């Protein structure tokens, strides 16, 4: 009788672990994807809070239409929601140097037009860049309440 009780407890524990594993796998495959613009806003806010400022230079301002999204499903994620409309996207590419390493990157500034004077934005213009000290490749030129453009 004692062995039967131990076996029943073991079976219940194993069933509980199996159910928990199935729930976690189901969540990994079917959780809703985060909005790419919300993720970018979160990144900008984080960099604006913790970022250090260095001198940089605007390389180019480009406008482009977003490419049509292809319906595909990534492993462990559901499809991200499509970006709003087919409006022109504004990209500012810039460069900056930290500890002798030069970084060239770009930022999508669509939606941040209130922070920027496009008529004064030209290639070669000096700018302040905020970067993550622990990951200097992660940087911003413009945030929701800060602009490194002069």
Residues in the chain: 150
Per-residue pLDDT of the chain (150 residues; tens, 9 = 90+): 555 556 888 888 999 999 999 999 988 888 888 888 899 999 999 999 999 999 999 999 888 887 665 555 555 555 555 555 567 888 999 999 999 999 999 999 988 888 788 778 889 999 999 999 999 999 999 999 899 987
Token pair belonging to 20: 């928990």
Residue with tokens 């990209």: 91
The secondary element (H helix, E strand) that includes residue 71 is none
Q: What is the pTM of this model?
A: 0.69
């Amino acid at each position: 009788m004692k062995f039967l009780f131990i076996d029943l407890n073991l079976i219940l524990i194993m069933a509980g672990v199996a159910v928990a594993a199935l729930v976690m796998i189901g969540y990994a495959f079917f959780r809703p994807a985060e909005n790419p613009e919300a993720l970018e806003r979160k990144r900008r806010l984080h960099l604006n809070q913790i970022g250090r400022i260095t001198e940089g230079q605007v390389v180019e301002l480009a406008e482009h239409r977003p490419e049509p999204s292809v319906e595909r499903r990534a492993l462990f994620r559901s499809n991200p929601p499509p970006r709003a409309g087919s409006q022109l996207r504004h990209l500012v590419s810039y460069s900056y140097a930290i500890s002798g390493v030069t970084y060239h990157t770009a930022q999508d500034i669509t939606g941040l037009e209130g922070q920027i004077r496009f008529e004064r934005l030209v290639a070669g213009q000096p700018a302040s860049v905020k970067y993550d000290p622990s990951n200097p490749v992660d940087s911003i030129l413009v945030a929701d309440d800060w602009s490194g453009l002069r």
